[in-house]
């Protein structure tokens, strides 16, 4: 990101959500964006995730200038290269765990046999293969989060953006989920970008980016443990 600005308007009120952001995130990073409510965390992640566009500045993703892409090209790149994990999981309530994980590739027209095999492998890796027939309401919070992670990973994204992924989990499940994401990051080089207030997660990332009033006020690396 180079000199990125994002402004919103609420009636006649102008809100500067991001003010001249310069930021580079490399392959294999495990990074958290944190700050008070209204600091610009969600806006920053939305711009990086290509679900919103800046008013000015430049964003490059895998060498491509995002502002030069058409809506269709941007959607295709996002669906291919970015996975999303939501605080409230956002699982389809009428689908089983397996069906939820299969959905992103089914939408892309990948043959069902291939999709099912891939989904089963991921769910097995995440330790939840015994619950593939369960619908979300029959799963615990930790189990739902594992399904959400599996769904985000099935497309083999270069980047996973996670909004408060541990906020609704107890300490034991939060630790297990963080360990799981760190393992995936280490083995596959997948970038994980978190928007979080959770100190349990902040203590485990390799890099912390602090935002206040739309400005990066601190950007520090931590020792990998």
pLDDT digits (tens, 9 = 90+) for 125-156: 888 999 999 999 999 999 999 999 999 999 99
pTM, 2 dp = 0.91
Mean pLDDT of 58-64: 95
**Mean pLDDT to the nearest integer, 187-197:** 94
How much is the pLDDT for 150? 94
225 pLDDT band (50/70/90 cuts)?
low
Q: Please determine, for residue 6, whether its predicted confidence score (pLDDT) is greater than 70.
A: yes
**Axis crossing angle, helix 97-107 with helix 141-153, rounded to the nearest 10:** 20
Sorting pLDDT into bands at 50, 70 and 90, what band is 224?
Answer: low
| CATH topology (fold) of 2-221 | Rossmann fold (3.40.50)
Q: What letter would DSSP give residue 89? A: -
Contacts 24+ apart (CB under 8 A), 73-77: 74/50, 75/50, 77/50
DSSP state of 29: -
Question: Strand 30-34's sheet: what is its strand order?
Answer: 82-85, 159-163, 191-195, 30-34, 207-212, 215-221
- The total number of residues shown for the chain amounts to 225
Residue extents of the structural domains in the chain: 2-221
């Amino acid at each position: 990101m180079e000199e990125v600005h994002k402004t919103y308007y609420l009636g006649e009120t102008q809100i500067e959500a991001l003010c001249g952001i310069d930021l580079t995130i490399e392959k294999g990073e495990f990074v958290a964006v944190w700050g008070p409510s209204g600091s610009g965390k969600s806006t920053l992640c939305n711009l990086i995730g290509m679900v919103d566009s800046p008013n000015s500045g430049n964003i490059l993703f895998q060498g491509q200038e995002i502002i030069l892409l058409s809506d269709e090209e941007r959607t295709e790149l996002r669906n291919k290269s970015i996975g999303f994990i939501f605080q409230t999981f956002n699982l389809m309530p009428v689908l089983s765990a397996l069906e939820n994980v299969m959905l992103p590739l089914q939408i892309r027209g990948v043959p069902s046999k291939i999709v099912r095999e891939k989904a089963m492998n991921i769910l097995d890796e995440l330790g939840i293969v015994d619950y593939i027939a369960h619908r979300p309401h029959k799963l615990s919070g930790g189990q739902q989060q594992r399904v959400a992670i599996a769904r985000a990973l099935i497309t083999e994204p270069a980047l996973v953006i996670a909004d408060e992924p541990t906020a609704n989990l107890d300490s034991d499940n939060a630790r297990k989920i963080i360990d799981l994401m760190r393992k995936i990051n280490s083995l596959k080089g997948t970038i994980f970008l978190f928007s979080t207030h959770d100190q349990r997660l902040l203590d485990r990332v390799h890099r912390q980016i602090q935002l206040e009033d739309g400005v990066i006020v601190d950007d520090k690396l931590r020792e990998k443990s």
